[in-house]
Amino acid sequence: MSVFSGVIANGGSISGAIPIGDKVITGIVMPAGWDAAALTFQVSIDGGVNWSNLFDSSGNEVAFQAAASRFIAVDPTLWIGINHIKIRSGTAAAAVNQNAERSVRLVGQ
C-alpha cells in the first residue's frame, strides 16, 4: 500500500501534481476540515505534461461526495494507466475554493 498527499492551498480549488507511478488508487482519505464540495480530478498519462479532466466511460465527470474525515472507497479500474493526479474541490465546471489549506490523501496499491 502507498499513500500520496495532495494539498489544496488556502483559497484554491486544485492541488499540485501528485506522481503515483504505476499504482492504482483504491481509496481517498478526507481531511478533518473540508468546505462542502464534490471531489473531482485532473489526470495525466504522460508524466504530467498533458492534463485531462477524469470522466467515466458513460461520459460523466468522475465525482465523489466528499466530507470531512471521510474514507471514500473507489473503483481501482478508473485509475489504470494514470501516473499523475491533481485533486479538485468542486467540478470542472464549478470549482469550489477551500477556506484553509487542505491535505487529501490517496491510497494506492
Per-residue pLDDT at 53? 98
Q: Which of 9, 25, 10, 13 is nearest to 105 (CA)?
A: 25
Q: How far apart are CA 99 and CA 12, in angstroms?
A: 8
Exposed/middle/buried for residue 90 (C-beta within 10 Å: 0-12, 13-18, 19+):
buried
Per-residue pLDDT at 8? 98
Per-residue pLDDT of the chain (109 residues; tens, 9 = 90+): 999 999 999 999 999 999 999 999 999 999 999 999 999 999 999 999 999 999 999 999 999 999 999 999 999 999 999 999 999 999 999 999 999 999 999 999 9
Range of the domain at 18: 2-108
70: domain CATH number is: 2.60.120.260
Per-residue pLDDT at 46? 97
Count structural domains, the chain: 1
What is the pTM assigned to this prediction?
0.95
Q: What type of residue is 29?
A: V
